Chains A and B, each alone.
Chain A
Amino acid sequence: MEVYLPIAELSLTWPLLLALGAVAGVLAGMFGVGGGFLLTPLLIFVGVPPAVAVATQANQVIATSVSGLLTQWQRGNVDVRMGLIMLLGGLFGSTAGIWIFGILKRIGQIDLTIAIGYVLLLTSIGVLMLVESVRTWRRRRNPEAPRRKLHQHYLVHRLPLKIRFYKSRLYISALLPLGLGFVIGILSAILGIGGGFILVPAMIYILGMPTLMVIGTSLFQIVFVAINVTFLQATQNQTVDFVLALLLIIGGAIGAPIGGRVAAKLPSFQLRGMLALLILAMAAELLFELFARPSAIYSLGEPGRGS
């Protein structure tokens, strides 16, 4: 039942790895997010070195997102102009992220950075989603409650370089999707996530894109940024574990349809509420680990500067 992972350089039970992939797949099917935010900490927990976990995760993200992208593309739900501008930012961001990752690894702070990054990220996203789903739930029970405006105008709409996005019916500054892509690119490289669960709310609330276009366009950005991250990790850090990626991808393929079936039976605000609680639980767990006395004070690390 053991399989040797040639790049991670350890043996793990392969059904466990399939199961981890399946958990991510169920989430992907249920919520349309890749599940990387859950998978990366779990992989590190079972002993995969963080650098390998993050890089291999990027490889897995390609597989979980490509089929969704093709479906959305056929339905015409991809705003290519928006996607290309975000992707440009994403390519720069992920390349910069790989570079930052390398520096943090050398000074021995990559684990801490990953943990703090996840706590901040998961907490803010979890709270946002919970608030949103409670609001939807209230509106359902009380249809007369005041509705939000369809399209709000913020300060960000005064930025220069305005471009017309016909498919999304938007006239906003190109700097917005460019900057958003850049930030998500950095996060993809350092935290090993596709970024769907940040990208989707950001595109709805910050860019003001119609929900129909958001899923396909975000997948467009995610697939190509993940390809860039995988390639850079493979060539610069040699941290992509092919065997691990394959097991996670197969597990994900088993899990995704299950998640899809579950999702079809539950109303979406309940789903979002559940995901929000799951995200907050993960954040609490990571936060606890940062403050709790570690089981081992000493660990072996990479030889670094100033040693």
Chain B
Amino acid sequence: MIRRLAPLLAGIVLLAAALPAGAQTLLFDLSRPRVSITSAFAGTDILVYGALDAPADVIVTVSGAPSRQTVLRKERVLGLWVTGARQTFDDVPVYYAVAATKPLAQILPADGVPGVALTLAERLAAIQARGAGRRSSEELKSFVQGLIEAKRRDGLYPEGVAPITVLAGRLFRAELQFPSRLPVGDYEITAYVLRDGQPVTAVSKPLIVSKAGFSAEISEWARDEAPLYGGFAIAMALLVGWVTGALARRL
């Protein structure tokens, strides 16, 4: 990995050195543009690395594909905990993580940057509640909080901010960790350069999370050729059950 990256990094250094100062240029790339969920997938790391033309703070956000999510709330009915109210939200990122060179409170102004969603709370402020006319804003807030908790349990909204290390004020790198329950889809990784708490440059790169190999074939097959897949699953069970049963009687 390092040997493969070395020429790339060297190239970035040369490029960065060649740019005139003050152009606020930001270059970055990912160690891999694609996460392949194979049969052995147990989470993965992606290295984000890049170059700045002058020392600055950097924030990297990772946003999973926007999707529709329904939050269910359990309520007590006659002593039983049953699923009661539900709220559906649109434009919810399936995954959201932030990395930064310093704690966000030290980089960003206290009331955030208008028009740019960086933190999870800011990103979730943009999601749309469907048919929530009757709900109070308090209640909606508690549903959004519930959404965050549920996502956090699966490691999809990691708590805190991952560190970005800066080398000689010019090169930065961040190790992004993705959990095993990563939903498939098109993710977007955006790097922001900040000067005095204001983003001056932002560059995005896509990260494609998709099933690959055996597991991709199985799920494609299950979706596109469902009767055949079902038949095959049945045949497998009949055959394995028969063979192992026969073997067990011989022993």
Q: Is the CB of A298 within 8 A of B70?
A: no
| Binding site secondary structure of chain B | helix
| Complex CA–CA separation, A24 to B202 (angstroms) | 55
List B218-244 residues whose CB lies under 8 Å from chain A: 218-219, 222-223, 226-227, 229-234, 236-238, 240-242, 244
Residues of A within 8 A of B73 (CB): 297-298
Q: Is the CB of A11 within 8 A of B241?
A: no
Residues of B within 8 A of A68 (CB): 245
Residues of A within 8 A of B143 (CB): 298
Q: Is the CB of A62 within 8 A of B181?
A: no
- Chain A nearest Cβ from B132, distance in angstroms: 9
Kindly report which residue of chain A lies nearest to residue B184, judged by CB atoms.
Answer: A9
Q: Does A278 contact B (CB under 8 A)?
A: no
Task: Bits for B28-42, please: 1 = Cβ < 8 Å to A, else 0.
Answer: 000000000111111
Q: Is the CB of B71 within 8 A of A60?
A: no
Known: A66-B238, A66-B245. A7 touches B219 (CB 8 A): yes
| Complex CA–CA separation, A11 to B131 (angstroms) | 35
Q: Is the CB of A243 within 8 A of B215?
A: yes
Q: Does B169 contact A (CB under 8 A)?
A: no
Q: Does B246 contact A (CB under 8 A)?
A: yes
Q: Is the CB of B150 within 8 A of A298?
A: yes
Residues of B within 8 A of A144 (CB): none
Kindly report which residue of chain B lies nearest to residue A249, judged by CB atoms.
Answer: B240
Q: Does A137 contact B (CB under 8 A)?
A: no
Kindly report which residue of chain B lies nearest to residue A56, judged by CB atoms.
Answer: B233
Interface hit among B50-58, B83-91, B159-167, B187-195:
B83-91
Q: Is the CB of B42 within 8 A of A2?
A: yes
Q: Is the CB of A235 within 8 A of B227?
A: yes
Residues of B within 8 A of A231 (CB): 227, 230-231, 234
Cβ contact of B68, chosen from A59, A242, A303, cutoff 8 A: A303
Q: Is the CB of B215 within 8 A of A301?
A: no
Residues of A within 8 A of B214 (CB): 6
List A1-39 residues whose CB lies under 8 Å from chain B: 2-4, 6-7, 9-11
- Chain A nearest Cβ from B14, distance in angstroms: 40
| Complex CA–CA separation, A303 to B251 (angstroms) | 51
Q: Is the CB of A307 within 8 A of B238?
A: no
Q: Is the CB of B246 within 8 A of A63?
A: no
- Chain A nearest Cβ from B92, distance in angstroms: 10
What 8 A-B pairs are tightest by C-beta distance, nearest first? A67-B245, A298-B146, A234-B230, A63-B241, A253-B244, A2-B42, A62-B237, A11-B180
Chain A residues proximal to chain B, CB less than 8 Å: 2-4, 6-7, 9-11, 59-60, 62-68, 70-71, 108-109, 111-112, 227, 230-231, 233-235, 238, 240, 242-243, 245-246, 249-250, 253, 256-257, 260, 290-294, 296-304, 306-307
Chain B residues proximal to chain A, CB less than 8 Å: 37-43, 68-74, 79-83, 86-88, 130-131, 143, 145-147, 149-151, 153, 180-181, 183, 211, 214-216, 218-219, 222-223, 226-227, 229-234, 236-238, 240-242, 244-249, 251
A-B contact pairs, 30 of them (CB 8 A): A2-B42, A4-B40, A4-B42, A6-B218, A6-B219, A7-B222, A10-B181, A62-B237, A64-B241, A66-B245, A67-B246, A108-B70, A112-B83, A230-B237, A235-B227, A242-B218, A242-B222, A242-B229, A242-B232, A249-B241, A253-B248, A296-B150, A297-B73, A298-B72, A299-B72, A299-B150, A303-B68, A303-B70, A304-B70, A304-B86
